[in-house]
Structure 1
Amino acid sequence: MKVKTEYLIPGCILNEDVYKSTNIPLLKKKTILTDKLISILHIFLIQTVNVENKLVDGSFYKPEEVIEEDVLIPEEPAIKEESRFISVFLQAVQKYKKLFLNWQSGSKVDLNVIRKEFIPLLRLSPSKEEMLDLHHYGSKNDYHYYHAVAVAVLSVSLGRKYNLSEGELIQLGLSALLADCGMARLPYNVYGQQGPLTSEEYNEVRKHPLLGYKMLEGIPGLTKAALLGVLQHQEREDGSGYPLKTKGKKIHLYAKIIMVCDMYHAMTSERCYRAKQSPYRVLESISKDNFGKIDHYCLQQFIQLISNLSIGVKVRLNNGWIGTIIYIDESVPMRPLLQVENNEMINLLNYSDLYIEQQLGEEESNLSPKV
């Protein structure tokens, strides 16, 4: 729905890119607005923006005035099928945050509560677009809570490509959701960090898989595989990970899956000390920089799961150019051949400084800048 910027509140989610005189967005679609970002819109004299009907906490947004409303907001809204996943996801994040704060206070993990609250989410099947957009639904201050739930969703989706049974998928999802629960037992609040960790703090953080394993060990309803997923999700194929420097075949499949999903979501998300990155750039970076560290087959399956690039698709590059994919080399899928303005051909293999920022729908693919 389109609303005047004067009625925006923190937590609103942009439903389309915001432009001002150039074809590079001032703010991108799915950005979660803060007081600072709202003030930026005012500074640039942006009069109206298109936002989603829901705030980032899952509650419905009811501004004082709506200029154009795509979907009327009923008094007691029913979750529409196409938005059901995001609605359940956002609610799950708030539930996880509440549980984590309880763990920090010394509460034990109650698996019955966790199963009741999160299995409905784990049984949903998000689309490629919804998975690509997951990193947008989060704030830098609450990153870790969004991260836990997003990694669980991505892990279950990737697990389906391995033809895991329903029971195995639930155990994998619970393992991914609880992979960072050991953070609640650290001697300081790593979730409140406003910048990069010191070496001393990082050494403490490296203990969280073992702390999490100890928190969950002996709890009825978690399989040995799920526990290994928690314990080993920060290990690496070459033995360079932690906490036990386990390598290769000794790393359980659940841990290999969580490892890839954890790395991807962490790199795409906004943090207190780093801006969010393009999913396509992150997929390429993971492939290059972590060769030999993560399971190659697992990564390839994840790229197929998350990437929706294909011939004929329009994309926007980081410099604002818009092009149509003409050819994709399967060995380097994030570096396709593009046809851009004036029918010029650009092979991204030859331009290391350029990368795909996002895939565009038909309504977004106009080469002219929006004002």
Structure 2
Amino acid sequence: MYVRVEDVKEGNVLLNDVMHKASEPLMAKETVLTNWHIKILKAFLIDEVDVGEGASIGIVTESGTHTDKEKPKADVPVDKKVDFFKSYLQSVEEYKKEFQKWQAGASIDIVKIREITLPLLDEMLIDPEVIREISKYTEKESYCYHHSVATGLLSGAIAAQLNYEKGFIVQAALAGVLADCGMAKISPHILLKETSLTEREKKEVNEHPFLSYKMVKDINLLKPETKLAVFQHHERTDGSGYVNGVKAEKLLPISRIVAIADVFHAMTAERVYRKRQAPFKVLEMFRQDFFGEFDLSVVKALTELFTKLSLGTSVQLSDGGVATILFMKQQNPTRPLVQLEESKDIIDLEKRRDLHIEQVL
């Protein structure tokens, strides 16, 4: 039954898709309408919708019952997330000890690296949302240790989002953790430098993928493609990367995953000589400024990891304002429809290019 949006009630259920100007529905059939949905319909100037009573198909949102198709996702308890980050910080410390051993000439203890990485990876696969917080915990003085652990977790998360099987996910995570192991062979003076590198120093740093490969090439527990990903993690699909400047056809899927995980964490983490950038802003840069450098399917998977936000999620905008998400857009998920907390104004971030989401609260 079509009714005017002004007369729609919370708990009503859409009987047909609500279409707007895009090819994708603004709101899908069988959506249980809440006050947030009704605000969205009004914001998009929808006059009427085809709805039925929620109770008639077993859906009463106020009483807490839901359809089988849209069961609420249980929130992971806060203490569980605290435990995860305690484990993460401990893993960073353990990785630091291994890195210092490599600096002293020791070979990689792959069993120890697995012990550092895999328990965290398993926890993250249970609750993928924790990956959104990783960059916040990076201490700039210990950046290189955080970066390796975080790149490993990001690589595993992306592989999981792309629906690879568990063995591949594990290998992607290990490739991410070990991608920068060759930095242990770089002059400590360069690693600790707080100002821009000279051309000679940049050239030395750019050798680290080759040095990393030398350190992992004889490890039996790593697959050949994992070792190649360590070597290729600074290559780009358009051939603009290094060491060899190879293009997409020579880049394995695991190499493409580690490459984007490496750059994403580097840009979103606090560093001694550079401020962190907002994850949503960096995701947009992958789609625009870096277009052609990274595999689009991997960019999409990374974007989905960070934009799986439910209606009602609070976010801080780049101007310092706090807003609530009203509607996530499939075609442009980094720029949802939001409502300002203070003024109650509704803003379409797709149109307000001067603003972006700074962080999820």
Same fold (TM over 0.5): yes
TM-score bin (small chain):
0.7 to 0.9
- Percent identity over the alignment? 38
Structure 2 Cα separation of the partners of residues 298 and 222 of structure 1: 22
Structure 2 Cα separation of the partners of residues 315 and 225 of structure 1: 39
Q: Note closer, same or farther for the CA distance 1:252–1:351 as it changes in structure 2 (3 Å cut).
A: same
Matched, 1:253 2:253: yes
Per-residue deviation, residues 239-279 of structure 1 (Å, max 9, x unmatched): 00010111112101111111111111111111111122222
Which residue of structure 2 lines up, in the alignment, with residue 53 of structure 1?
Answer: none
- Indicate the structure whose relative CO is greater, using CA pairs within 8 Å and at least 6 residues apart: 1
- What pairs with 1:196-215 in structure 2 (closer than 5 Å)? 196-215=196-215
- Is the CA contact (8 Å cut-off) linking 1:128 and 1:306 kept in structure 2? no
Q: How many residues of Structure 1 are paired with residues of Structure 2 in the alignment?
A: 282
User: Alpha-carbon deviation of 1:117?
Assistant: 3.4
User: Alpha-carbon deviation of 1:82?
Assistant: 4.0
User: Alpha-carbon deviation of 1:359?
Assistant: 2.3
Matched, 1:172 2:141: no
Matched, 1:106 2:120: no
- Is the CA contact (8 Å cut-off) linking 2:117 and 2:152 kept in structure 1? no
Moved more, 208-217 or 111-120: 111-120
Structure 2 Cα separation of the partners of residues 82 and 184 of structure 1: 31
Matched, 1:321 2:297: no
Per-residue deviation, residues 286-330 of structure 1 (Å, max 9, x unmatched): 222110000001110111112233443332212122223333332
Q: TM-score, normalised by structure 1?
A: 0.71
- What pairs with 1:337-352 in structure 2 (closer than 5 Å)? 337-340=337-340, 341-352=342-353
- Is the CA contact (8 Å cut-off) linking 1:103 and 1:184 kept in structure 2? yes
User: Alpha-carbon deviation of 1:90?
Assistant: 1.0
- Is the CA contact (8 Å cut-off) linking 1:234 and 1:242 kept in structure 2? yes
Structure 2 Cα separation of the partners of residues 283 and 329 of structure 1: 15
- Is the CA contact (8 Å cut-off) linking 1:128 and 1:308 kept in structure 2? no
Which residue of structure 2 lines up, in the alignment, with residue 312 of structure 1?
Answer: 312
**Letter of the 2:269 counterpart:** S
Structure 2 Cα separation of the partners of residues 312 and 183 of structure 1: 43
**Letter of the 1:267 counterpart:** M
**Letter of the 2:111 counterpart:** N
Structure 1 Cα separation of the partners of residues 99 and 279 of structure 2: 27
User: Alpha-carbon deviation of 1:191?
Assistant: 2.5
Structure 2 Cα separation of the partners of residues 119 and 326 of structure 1: 36
Give SS of 1:350's match.
coil
**Letter of the 1:279 counterpart:** P
Which residue of structure 2 lines up, in the alignment, with residue 116 of structure 1?
Answer: 115
Matched, 1:150 2:150: yes
Per-residue deviation, residues 208-259 of structure 1 (Å, max 9, x unmatched): 1111101111222111011011011110000000101111121011111111
**Letter of the 2:326 counterpart:** I
Give SS of 1:203's match.
helix
Which residue of structure 2 lines up, in the alignment, with residue 4 of structure 1?
Answer: none
Per-residue deviation, residues 138-186 of structure 1 (Å, max 9, x unmatched): 2111011001001111111111123323222222211110000111112
**Letter of the 2:218 counterpart:** G
Which residue of structure 2 lines up, in the alignment, with residue 91 of structure 1?
Answer: 90
Q: Note closer, same or farther for the CA distance 1:166–1:204 as it changes in structure 2 (3 Å cut).
A: same
Give SS of 2:150's match.
helix
User: Alpha-carbon deviation of 1:80?
Assistant: 5.8
Unaligned 5+ runs, structure 2: 1-77
Q: Note closer, same or farther for the CA distance 1:211–1:236 as it changes in structure 2 (3 Å cut).
A: same
Unaligned 5+ runs, structure 1: 1-78, 361-371
Which residue of structure 2 lines up, in the alignment, with residue 31 of structure 1?
Answer: none
Give SS of 1:333's match.
coil
Aligned-residue CA RMSD (Å):
2.0
Per-residue deviation, residues 121-149 of structure 1 (Å, max 9, x unmatched): 22222534421111111211101100100
Structure 1 Cα separation of the partners of residues 241 and 156 of structure 2: 23
Give SS of 1:142's match.
helix
Q: Note closer, same or farther for the CA distance 1:182–1:203 as it changes in structure 2 (3 Å cut).
A: same
Q: Note closer, same or farther for the CA distance 1:82–1:320 as it changes in structure 2 (3 Å cut).
A: closer
- Is the CA contact (8 Å cut-off) linking 1:230 and 1:255 kept in structure 2? yes
Structure 2 Cα separation of the partners of residues 94 and 250 of structure 1: 35
- What pairs with 1:51-66 in structure 2 (closer than 5 Å)? none
Give SS of 2:330's match.
coil
**Letter of the 1:302 counterpart:** L
Bigger helix share: 2
Give SS of 1:107's match.
coil
Q: Note closer, same or farther for the CA distance 1:137–1:342 as it changes in structure 2 (3 Å cut).
A: closer
Structure 2 Cα separation of the partners of residues 311 and 111 of structure 1: 42
Give SS of 2:359's match.
strand
Give SS of 2:325's match.
strand
Structure 2 Cα separation of the partners of residues 229 and 303 of structure 1: 21
Structure 2 Cα separation of the partners of residues 130 and 157 of structure 1: 10
Structure 2 Cα separation of the partners of residues 81 and 351 of structure 1: 36
Per-residue deviation, residues 19-78 of structure 1 (Å, max 9, x unmatched): xxxxxxxxxxxxxxxxxxxxxxxxxxxxxxxxxxxxxxxxxxxxxxxxxxxxxxxxxxxx
Structure 1 Cα separation of the partners of residues 268 and 102 of structure 2: 27
Structure 2 Cα separation of the partners of residues 299 and 116 of structure 1: 29
Larger Rg: 2
**Letter of the 1:301 counterpart:** A
Give SS of 1:358's match.
strand
User: Alpha-carbon deviation of 1:205?
Assistant: 1.2
